[in-house]
Amino acid sequence: MGEKLAKIYKIVEEKGGNPGRIKLASLTGLPKKDAEEMKDKPEVIEKFKAVANEILGFSIDEYLQ
């Protein structure tokens, strides 16, 4: 299911803590549980990556490999 989205949540949580995770959910409109249960769609992944980059202040691409 939402493996990439779950990984993005994990990265944001590890690097930005609980406030980062909450901000990701707020800005994407998709809570962690829902993100884990939905299919990874390229447009949703790109949105999540952009928001995660904004929250953390750096690109998460290297962590998604």
Token readout for 53 is 């980059």
Kindly report the pTM of this predicted structure.
0.93
Question: Confidence band (pLDDT; 50, 70, 90) for 1?
Answer: low
pLDDT by residue (tens digit) across 11-56? Answer: 999 999 999 999 999 999 999 999 999 999 999 999 999 999 999 9
**Inter-residue contact 31 to 9 (CB < 8 Å):** no
